[in-house]
Chains A and B, each alone.
Chain A
């Protein structure tokens, strides 16, 4: 039954560019990007129990990777850009993770926040390399070798690029699903529940946390690449700690205890933010208020809420 619902969702998403106004389609692209990023983020948060307040760092690496690759290195292939940016994120994640997974809870959060801001500071200050607060341009890549040169920017984005990213989400989603259901994933959950007991059962806690961290960094970078191609720009604010906070917000909004929660959260957040921004200049206030509601009343997020409602309906 669940698979049927998922297929329907994918079909609906595939149909969006055909039926919806371009404005809405350009919203779905960042939602797809954040969906991928959050799938990775939640591996670390929901499944392994580590809350990072610095994962925007890897989203930014993805974006800057795309920018540097296209603008400065002349790399056109989207596949290559994805691979290089993902790899860059993993390489950066190695020392960050090695240092951070020694600690848990608040110290992990503060350490990751510090790393994120370190990168932001670097992006901002070394403007000769990084373009400072204007960032670096991201040029349109080729998809599977095809340049689509005859399409203008918007048509490209809501056309071939959109379908490519949707396919990416499906593929990466399936991969993550298998990771989560694997013995590795089971060990991650054990580590989240009771790291000490996990150790006594022979689970190498730090190493597993490290691997989860690396995978999450990769996914976040892929999301960052999509975001950057969409906006055409990589800018340092992507690495600011409040952006990391938004990643957590989205995940909890959707529901961190469920596999699809983060995806639901990404879509909900993007649309919510867009509607609020259109309605008032004080949209941050209302977003904050919604977060308060979630934390206090609906900690299991929209998915949790949906499950509760479904159970109530079933009982009747």
Chain B
């Protein structure tokens, strides 16, 4: 399997502090890889390197074979990777429909149309409706984002990332702030939508081990900036050392065995 996105020997230090130490991992088409680990293990740093936000101090990070070190969010989006954040990011004064439209327009390279009416573009409207429907937001297209509930804002954030038709999507704790009853529903919806939308791989950063166990094709555990384990869920959860090192330190229930 050729890797869609991969890091080779990536390290990141800030002066004396080593945030990432020789991290090598690769994610191929069709995979949903979860990155887990306690706070401070380097998840955020790794994610920032994977999404071209941070340049590693050593090592290489590639997306579709090309070096993406430090290319920044704009170029990343145009190359085909999208990211949804843990802390909800919305456009408060814009409606749900407009928010998704921003992504669609940027992705279809219509941004520089100065005189065409955005609201009248049927292709854009259709796509907006399509994406919104996946997340149950199609009835709320006219609502201002700031008036949505916290969970809805989260969904909108993910939906707008989806609207970029990315090949890889990185979800940063997508279900945090969502009530536990809905978590599975949302996760399933997102994974299904991703398949239908042509997303080739998902990177998931999660604390909820239930979700991780259920949906991952592989789990990468970080500790102290190093990769502690990189296994499919069955192996991951049946290894007592791994469980002791990682799972015990995290909030959330222990996953049941394979």
Contacts and interface: CB of A to CB of B under 8 A. Distances in A.
A200 B73 contact: yes
A208 B102 CA distance: 13
Nearest to B105: A183
Given A183-B113, A194-B92, A201-B102, 15 more contacts: A178-B116, A181-B118, A184-B114, A185-B118, A189-B98, A190-B94, A193-B91, A198-B91, A199-B77, A200-B82, A201-B160, A201-B163, A202-B77, A203-B74, A203-B102
Interface in B94-125: 94, 98-99, 101-103, 105-107, 110-119, 121, 124
Nearest to A189: B94
A105 interface: no
A13 interface: no
A178 B115 CA distance: 5
Interface in B66-93: 72-74, 76-78, 82-83, 89-93
B220 interface: no
Interface string B137-168: 00000000000000000000100110110000
Interface of B: 72-74, 76-78, 82-83, 89-94, 98-99, 101-103, 105-107, 110-119, 121, 124, 157, 160-161, 163-164
Report the 9 A-B pairs with minimum CB-CB distance, sorted nearest first.
A202-B77, A193-B91, A202-B106, A197-B89, A199-B73, A201-B103, A183-B105, A178-B115, A200-B73
A200 B94 CA distance: 16
Interface of A: 175, 178-179, 181-187, 189-190, 193-194, 196-205, 208
Contacts of A187: 102, 105-106, 111
B57 to A, nearest CB: 24
B38 to A, nearest CB: 26
B91 A202 contact: no
Given A194-B90, A199-B73, A201-B77, A179 B106 contact: no
A175 B105 CA distance: 21
Nearest to B88: A197
Contact of B78 (A185, A202, A205): A202
A236 B77 CA distance: 46
A193 B74 contact: no
B97 to A, nearest CB: 11
Contacts of B119: 181
B91 A184 contact: no
A193 B106 CA distance: 16
Given A201-B102, A205-B74, A196 B89 contact: yes
Contacts of B93: 189, 193
A284 B78 CA distance: 51
Nearest to B103: A201
Contacts of A185: 118
A202 B107 contact: yes
B155 to A, nearest CB: 15
Contacts of A190: 91, 94, 99, 102
Contact of A193 (B94, B110, B121): B94
A203 B111 contact: yes
Nearest to B157: A197
A197 B87 CA distance: 11
B106 A203 contact: yes
A184 B114 CA distance: 6
Contacts of B98: 186, 189
Contact of B117 (A182, A193, A204, A208): A182
B89 A202 contact: no
22 contacts: A178-B114, A184-B112, A184-B114, A186-B105, A186-B118, A187-B102, A189-B91, A189-B93, A189-B98, A193-B94, A194-B90, A196-B73, A197-B157, A197-B160, A199-B72, A199-B74, A200-B82, A201-B102, A201-B103, A202-B77, A202-B164, A204-B111
The CB with the most chain B CB atoms within 10 A, among A175, A182, A198, A204, is that of: A182
Contact of A200 (B105, B112, B161): B161
A198 B90 contact: no
